[in-house]
């Protein structure tokens, strides 16, 4: 395996290098590592720790330094005065400098944001993005090439702000590399410095290198003192202060007070990455309590028309994306609603047990520090039930949101960014109702990869579902294809929302994906009835949860997409060209009957009580039912290929 070389300016104890080596070795083990530095001040005791780590991990650690030795310190500590340049304070009053604020994001989309938050020593959270190109969290050669072009562009823009021949560019803390590159391209007469957290004693003694020093609280962490050295009073016409991330004005003010006494007429504060998302807070919609769920969706109201099933089917099979239109909302008959209530009561305890099992497995695999993110809309009631179970059993009150995910378009990135911004210290657990062929599972995996490429954030793509008959995920409550009563209806069991939509004329760059809120169906809504009915069963199934969870763990197998093999066989036997026209499983078959143009319904066993609503709908819509026992699913809906006129 490739050799790993760690580079630093100096090593004092070597503890940081050893921690890094140990962390790397856990993930990508190799036989040898090298630590390169300019200075190496390790004592014999510190070097023994390196030898011990070599023995512990069975590796070899080489160290290379230009100068090695030891440091002996004599005398008493010397306190650095807050502003030790007397000439500055006597010559120019604070406030004579003009301060200008510039945000590079408003000039152009120059840097790639990383949606990572930081917490300072006082537990204050900063949600402003980092810059990928700094390399703080890793960087590749493509980013470096792009950075060079960006730097030239920024330097040209900032050069136009210079008012005289002498300019000071000032990096801040660890944010030094990018400001240095920008400064180098801003023309003649530009000098570059950086603030630091390293204290150095200043003296006017001839031949001594540090002539003056200033101290101030770090803008990103007020408990940390930063320093600025060797700024000759009145020498510069302009100062450009570069900050990676935008900070509150009150936290920047102590540094600005120092800069204003340096005799520099113009101070330009350059925020390289600010929060210019312009994402509005979500508009509350849907019939669920906000304690249960928050939809991160835009209510498109009547801006989108519902189409007849036949017209919509023709358009979809003709190439129109399914997320650009809505079907006419199915109005169930009294007989069908009676069947829904019968099925809900009959299977509610089984459903509650599956909820409990998947909840326990989420807790075991991911821990407690989570935000539940359901994939609207089938995932929403299941996410609510998981949230309620975890509160019922453990007193855990996890945030829960529902977001859009669309085949061919991925999940709503604005919604995910909103969640990360508002819950920066929590991990996301995605939730859905069930799996069919596993199409959405694949969409989620790709969306997570795309999100990491774009924003630098790694999201866990392990989808938690109630039922996984397709063997597509690792976290599930059961792999049995059984009746989940929420699959029997559309909006009236899903918070009165339509399926999600995404169309450019309706959804702007800063909008969440859309949905229609059917307020007019409030009297027919059973969304909360479904949730409450299943929740009421939690006390009844508690004594079964541990054994059922243990049984699933014992027989656990990694996703093998077993259902896909059945679908390929069905596709061949029924001469269906497009795999998207095959919808396996009880949940997906129900969807076909409610909002698509079903051609045939395949069932494994006509006597299966889980299929009563399927047979009811098939009879109501005069769709042929074919007994097809050789599949792992209990049923499968086939959509009629559209042949046109």
In sequence order, the β-bridge partners of residue 465 are 432, 476
Q: What is the distance between the alpha carbons of residues 212 and 483, in angstroms, rounded to a whole number? A: 76
Q: How far is CA 113 from CA 134, 273, 407, in A?
A: 11, 7, 26
d(CA 447, CA 472): 16
Task: Give a yes or no: residue 285 inside a domain.
Answer: no
Q: What is the largest CA-CA distance in the chain?
A: 100
DSSP string, 212-227: -EEEEEETTEEEEEEE
Query: Which of 498, 532, 554 delimits the end of a domain?
Result: 554
pLDDT of residue 275: 62
Residues 406 and 469 in one domain: yes
Domain boundary residue, one of 554, 575, 609: 554
Binning pLDDT at 50, 70 and 90, where does residue 304 land? Answer: confident
Same-domain pairing of 22 and 91: no
Residue 333: predicted pLDDT:
87
State whether 400 and 545 are in the same domain: yes
pTM greater than the 0.85 cutoff: no
| Per-residue pLDDT tens over the stretch 26-85 | 989 999 999 999 999 999 999 999 999 999 999 999 999 999 998 888 888 766 555 444
Question: What pLDDT does 88 receive?
Answer: 37
645 occurs within a structural domain: no
pLDDT of residue 643: 66
pLDDT surpasses 90 at 140:
no
386 belongs to a structural domain: yes
The domain in which residue 167 lies consists of 86-273
Q: What count of Cα atoms within 13 Å lies in the side-chain half-sphere of residue 25?
A: 18
Beta bridge partners of 582: 638
Question: What percentage of the chain exceeds 90 in pLDDT?
Answer: 69
What confidence tier does 315 reach under pLDDT thresholds 50, 70, 90?
confident
Average confidence (pLDDT) over 174-191: 95
Considering its fold, how many domains does the chain have in total?
A: 4
Average pLDDT of span 162-172 = 97
Do 206 and 243 fall within a single domain? yes
Residues 299, 254 within the same domain: no
Look-up of token digits 């960014």: 417
pLDDT reported for residue 109: 60
Q: What are 385-399's pLDDT values in tens digits? A: 999 999 999 999 999
Position 455 pLDDT exceeds 60 = yes
Specify the 3-state DSSP secondary structure of 637.
Answer: strand
The answer to whether the beta carbons of residues 202 and 213 sit under 8 Å apart is yes
Q: Are residues 374 and 448 in the same domain?
A: yes
Answer with the one of 22, 40, 68 that is the final residue of a domain: 68
The closest alpha carbon to 449, from 431, 463, 461, belongs to: 461
Q: Is residue 143 part of a domain?
A: yes
CA distances from 331 to 396, 499, 500, 580 (A): 37, 15, 19, 25
Residue 462: alpha-carbon gap to chain centroid: 13
Average pLDDT, the chain: 90
The answer to whether residue 280 is domain-embedded is no
Give the confidence band of 117 by pLDDT, cuts at 50, 70, 90. confident
**335 vs 191, higher pLDDT:** 191
Same domain, 142 and 214: yes
Residues 354 and 458 in one domain: yes
Answer left, alpha or beta for residue 32, where phi above 0 means left and psi between -120 and 50 means alpha.
Answer: beta
Tell me the C-alpha distance between 486 and 35, whole Å: 58
**What long-range pairs does 280-285 form, CB within 8 A, spacing at least 24?**
280/510, 282/418, 282/512, 285/497, 285/515, 285/517
CATH code of the domain covering residue 237: 3.40.50
Residue 91 shares a structural domain with residue 27: no
Supply the pLDDT for residue 278: 63
> 291-295, 297-301, 429-433 — which is least confidently predicted?
297-301
Could you report the per-residue pLDDT of 236-263, keeping only the tens digit for each? 999 999 999 988 889 999 999 999 999 9
Q: Are residues 348 and 325 in the same domain?
A: yes
pLDDT tens sequence across 87-111: 333 334 455 789 999 988 655 566 7
Cis ω before 377 (30° cut-off from 0): yes
Residues 306 and 174 in one domain: no
| Within-domain flag for 75 | no
* CATH code where residue 634 lies: 3.30.1330.30
Does 286 reside within a domain? no
Structure tokens at 511: 């909008």
| Residue-level pLDDT at 143 | 75
Tell me what pLDDT residue 125 has: 78
Q: Is residue 644 part of a domain?
A: no
Report the 3 state secondary structure along 445-496.
HHHHHHHHHHHCCCCCCCCEEEECCCCCCCEEEECCCCCCHHHHCCHHHCCC
Check whether residue 334 and residue 412 sit in a common domain: yes
């Amino acid at each position: 395996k490739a050799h790993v070389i760690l580079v630093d300016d100096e090593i004092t104890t070597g503890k940081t290098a050893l921690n890094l080596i140990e962390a790397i070795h856990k993930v990508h083990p190799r036989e040898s590592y090298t630590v390169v530095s300019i200075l190496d001040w390790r004592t014999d005791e510190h070097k023994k720790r390196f030898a011990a780590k070599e023995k512990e991990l069975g590796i070899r650690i080489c160290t290379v330094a230009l100068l090695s030795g030891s440091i002996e310190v004599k005398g008493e500590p010397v306190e650095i005065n807050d502003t030790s340049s007397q000439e500055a304070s006597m010559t120019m009053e604070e406030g004579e400098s003009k301060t200008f604020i510039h945000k590079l994001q408003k000039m152009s989309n120059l840097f790639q944001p990383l949606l990572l938050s930081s917490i300072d020593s006082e537990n204050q959270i900063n949600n402003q993005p980092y810059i990928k190109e700094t390399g703080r969290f890793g960087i590749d050669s493509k980013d470096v090439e792009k950075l060079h072009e960006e730097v030239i562009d920024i330097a040209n823009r900032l050069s136009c702000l210079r008012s005289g021949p002498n300019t000071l560019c000032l990096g801040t803390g660890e944010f030094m590399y990018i400001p240095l590159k920008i400064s180098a391209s801003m023309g003649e007469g530009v000098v570059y410095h950086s603030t630091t957290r390293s204290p150095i004693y200043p003296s006017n003694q001839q031949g001594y290198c540090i002539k003056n020093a200033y101290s101030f609280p770090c803008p990103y962490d007020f408990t940390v003192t930063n320093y600025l050295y060797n700024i000759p009073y009145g020498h510069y016409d302009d100062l450009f202060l570069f900050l990676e991330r935008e900070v509150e004005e009150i936290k920047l003010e102590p540094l600005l007070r120092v800069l204003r006494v340096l005799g520099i007429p113009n101070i330009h504060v350059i925020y390289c990455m600010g929060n210019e998302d312009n994402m509005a807070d979500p508009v509350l919609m849907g019939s669920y309590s906000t304690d249960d769920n928050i939809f991160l969706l835009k209510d498109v109201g009547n801006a989108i028309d519902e189409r007849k099933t036949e017209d919509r089917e023709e358009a979809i099979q003709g190439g129109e994306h399914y997320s650009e239109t809505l079907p006419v909302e199915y109005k169930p008959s009294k007989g069908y609603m009676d069947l829904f209530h019968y099925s809900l009561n009959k299977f509610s305890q089984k459903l509650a047990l599956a909820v409990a099992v998947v909840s326990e497995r989420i807790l075991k695999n991911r821990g407690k520090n989570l935000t539940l993110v359901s994939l609207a809309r089938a995932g929403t009631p299941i996410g609510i039930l998981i949230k309620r179970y975890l509160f019922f059993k453990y007193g855990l009150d996890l945030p829960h949101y529902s977001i859009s995910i669309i085949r061919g378009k991925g999940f709503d990135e604005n919604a995910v960014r909103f969640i990360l911004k508002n819950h920066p210290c929590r991990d996301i657990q995605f939730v859905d109702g069930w799996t069919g062929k596993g199409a959405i599972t694949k969409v989620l995996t790709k969306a997570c990869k795309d999100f990491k490429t774009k924003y630098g954030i790694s999201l866990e793509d392990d989808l938690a579902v109630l039922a996984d008959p397709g063997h597509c995920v690792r976290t599930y409550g059961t792999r049995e294809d059984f009746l989940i009563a929420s699959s029997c209806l559309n909006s009236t069991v899903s918070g009165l929302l339509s399926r999600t939509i995404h169309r450019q004329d309706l959804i702007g760059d800063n909008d969440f994906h859309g949905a229609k809120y059917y307020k007019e169906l409030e009297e027919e809504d059973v969304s909360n009835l479904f949730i409450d009915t299943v929740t009421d069963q939690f006390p009844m199934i508690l004594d079964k949860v541990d054994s059922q969870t243990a049984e699933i763990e014992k027989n656990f197998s990694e996703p093998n997409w077993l259902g896909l093999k059945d679908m390929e066989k069905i596709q061949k036997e029924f001469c269906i060209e497009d795999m998207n026209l095959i919808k396996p499983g009880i949940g997906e078959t129900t969807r076909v009957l409610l909002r698509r143009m079903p051609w045939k319904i395949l069932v494994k066993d006509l006597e299966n009580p889980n299929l009563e609503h399927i047979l009811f709908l098939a009879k109501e819509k005069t769709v042929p039912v074919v007994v097809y026992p050789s599949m792992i699913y209990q049923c499968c809906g086939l959509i009629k290929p559209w042949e046109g006129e």
